[in-house]
Structure formats: structure tokens, C-alpha cells
Amino acid sequence: MIRIYYVPCRKQTREYRLIRQGLLNNPRVKLVCSEEKSDFVFLFYSVLEDNPHLRKAFPPHKTVFIDYCDKPRWVHPIKCLAYFKRSWVEMMVKGNHVVKEPIPRPSNFYPLTMAIMDEFIIDGDMERDVALSCTLRARKQRFNREQVLILLRGMHIQGKLQIGEFNREGARGFDGPLMREYFRLLRRSRIVVTCNPSKWEGDHRTWEAFASGALVFVDRTYTPMAHPLIDGEHCVIYETSNRGLMKLAHRILYFLENPVQAEAIAKAGYDFTMKYHRASNRIDEILERIL
């Protein structure tokens, strides 16, 4: 067993809990209560907001720093064995959408995406009575997410739809009834369209969508990923350029009219992500780098 001390955090965000859930669910890991008893110290970046002295509290050769900060260019100066960063690529505005480019990183830096959490999963059979859902929030700057919403609202899609923000509870009510209703909405949907934020890459929405078992439409990501998603096999991947959004509209209509193909890809995507993209899988990815 690999003994890990996960440094406690006063403000336990969903991201902090994701890593903790992965550690608890990973059969290779035993959580211990102190650095002295550990093989490695996992230090989540937000812990340092309340305890800046912890930056130098642990031996660098056993410290694993987990940076889930939204800002791609933000890097903590901590000395550590390995630095895992979620926002891996830089976002740049090009016309009415955002393009992504990799940022050079030191040799001990590694990408680490989010994952399916246990809370995202709604067990039991539910009728898929919603043809399409896209619960992105609108913003004044009409970049990637806003362009997707504009496109969907302009399409003539038959059936029950949910286009636009579904609830405002968000992370504050992660375990609350509105979030459970949101997860049920995804579970009732045949197609879920999602898109990464315009200022960073990597969000919970992508993995919430896959956990629902719907056919997921998601914009192309450039963060390296173990077991990458394959377009047309696990999901439908689109570009956020004008041409890419036109193609997105055609593919949505195609899969609405061809439900057998849509269901086959949806099932493959669900099986694939449940096997390779749970919280415990992210811990395996970390361990493969540090052992």
C-alpha cells in the first residue's frame, strides 16, 4: 500500500473533494494522518490560501502539488517532487471564439483533468424524455459557450429541450436537491451538449455529462489525457469556430434522427469513462508519474 497524507483543507471545494474521493476509492492507497507516516504528501493548491506556511512545511522530495486553479499561467513557486496542473493550455480570443495553445512547462509538471465523481451518478432506469439538454450559463462576452447557446436556440429541434442554465445552486449546493435534479435532467437526456469555459480548459460539466449515459457533444480539448476520448466512438467532438459550429448543428440533427447510432456511441462513452475517468483513475495517473 502507498501511504499518502492528504493535507486537510478548511474550504473543501468540489475539486478538493474529487482528489480525496479518488484517494479513498483507490485500492493502492492508504490515507495516513501525518507527513511522518506517509510515503507522499498530497498538497492541494487552495490549502495554502489559509496556511501559507505549509509551502515549506513538507520535504520537496515527497510533496505532490495539485493545482486545480482556473488560471493557465498561474504557477505556485513551491518546491515539489511533481506538480499536477489542471488548466494546461492558454486560451486566446480569435474573432468570436477562443483558440487554445499549449504552454511550455517544467519537466516535473504534468496535466491532470477533472473526473467523474460518485455524486454525478444517478442509479436506476429513467426514461430519456428530453431530446437535448445544454445547461451552459450565458455571459456578455459571446465566446465559446455563448456561441453554442446561440446556435442551439436558433435550431428547430423537435421534442423536449433544456437550453440554458438549469439551476443556480452550483458548487455551494453540491449535495443539495437542485443539483440532484440537475443530474436527473442529464440522466433523462438523449443528447447533452457541453463546452469548456472560455478562459480555461477543464470543467466538471464534461464528466457530469458522461456520467449521465447520454450522447455527449463536447468541444475539442488540448490538455494531454490518459485514455483520450475519441470522436465518433465515445462522444461527438466539435470545433468552436464558425465552421465547426455549423458542423455541430448538422451532427446534432443527424444523431437525433439516428437514435440507434446515438445510443451505441452513448453507451460506449459511458462504459469508457466509467472505466478510465473516475476520481480513482486520476490518482492512478499521479502514482504512475511519481513511483
Residues 147 and 100 placed together within one structural domain of the fold? no
| CB burial string 177-208: b at 16+ within 10 A, e below | eebeebbebbbbbbbbbbbbbbbbbbbbbbbb
Range from 116-125, 131-140, 219-228 carrying the lowest mean pLDDT: 131-140
Q: Sorting pLDDT into bands at 50, 70 and 90, what band is 141?
A: low
DSSP state of 159: S
Range from 20-29, 54-63, 90-99, 207-216 carrying the lowest mean pLDDT: 90-99
Supply the range of the domain harboring residue 49: 2-116+278-290
Average pLDDT of the segment spanning 210-223: 97
Is the pLDDT at 108 greater than 90, yes or no?
Answer: yes
* pLDDT at 169 (0 to 100): 59
Q: What are phi and psi of 270, to 5 degrees?
A: -65, -50
Q: Taking Cα atoms as reference points, which of 269, 197, 278 lies closest to residue 235? A: 269
Residues 198 and 68 placed together within one structural domain of the fold? no
Neighbours of 32 (CB within 10 A): 17
Better pLDDT: 10 or 65: 65
Q: What is the pLDDT of residues 151-201, one digit of tens each?
A: 999 999 999 999 998 876 555 567 778 889 999 999 999 999 999 998 899
Q: What does the alpha-carbon distance between residue 242 and residue 268 come to, in Å, rounded to a whole number?
A: 29
Number of domains within the chain: 2
* pLDDT at 95 (0 to 100): 79
Residues 167 and 270 placed together within one structural domain of the fold? yes
User: Which stretch of DSSP H or E encloses residue 93?
Assistant: strand 89-94
* pLDDT at 173 (0 to 100): 62
Q: What is the CATH number of the domain that holds 103?
A: 3.40.50
* pLDDT at 140 (0 to 100): 64
* pLDDT at 172 (0 to 100): 58
Residues 126 and 254 placed together within one structural domain of the fold? yes
Q: Sorting pLDDT into bands at 50, 70 and 90, what band is 52?
A: confident
Residues 189 and 51 placed together within one structural domain of the fold? no
Q: What does the alpha-carbon distance between residue 199 and residue 87 come to, in Å, rounded to a whole number?
A: 9
63, 81 in Cβ contact below 8 A?
yes
Q: What is the pLDDT of residues 17-45, one digit of tens each?
A: 999 999 999 999 999 999 999 999 999 99
Helices (H), 91-213: 144-154, 177-188, 204-211
Is the pLDDT at 143 greater than 90, yes or no?
Answer: no
What is the separation, in whole angstroms, between the first and last Cα of the chain? Answer: 12
Residues 133 and 183 placed together within one structural domain of the fold? yes
Residues 40 and 132 placed together within one structural domain of the fold? no
User: Which stretch of DSSP H or E encloses residue 49?
Assistant: helix 47-50
Q: What does the alpha-carbon distance between residue 49 and residue 220 come to, in Å, rounded to a whole number?
A: 32
Q: In Å, what is the CA distance from 219 to each residue of 30, 43, 56, 88, 263?
A: 36, 30, 39, 16, 20
Residues 222 and 109 placed together within one structural domain of the fold? no
* pLDDT at 239 (0 to 100): 95
Residues 175 and 213 placed together within one structural domain of the fold? yes
Average pLDDT of the segment spanning 115-123: 95
Residues 130 and 253 placed together within one structural domain of the fold? yes
DSSP calls for 195-261: ---SS-S--HHHHHHHHTTSEEEEE---S--SS---BTTTBEEE--SHHHHHHHHHHHHHHHH-HHH
* pLDDT at 94 (0 to 100): 80
Q: What does the alpha-carbon distance between residue 96 and residue 198 come to, in Å, rounded to a whole number?
A: 11
Average pLDDT of the segment spanning 111-121: 97
Q: What is the CATH number of the domain that holds 217?
A: 3.40.50.2000
Q: Taking Cα atoms as reference points, which of 144, 126, 135 lies closest to residue 170? A: 135
pTM across the whole model: 0.95
Range from 87-91, 146-150, 164-168 carrying the lowest mean pLDDT: 164-168
Residues 270 and 199 placed together within one structural domain of the fold? yes
Q: What does the alpha-carbon distance between residue 1 and residue 31 come to, in Å, rounded to a whole number?
A: 10
Residues 96 and 171 placed together within one structural domain of the fold? no
DSSP state of 136: P
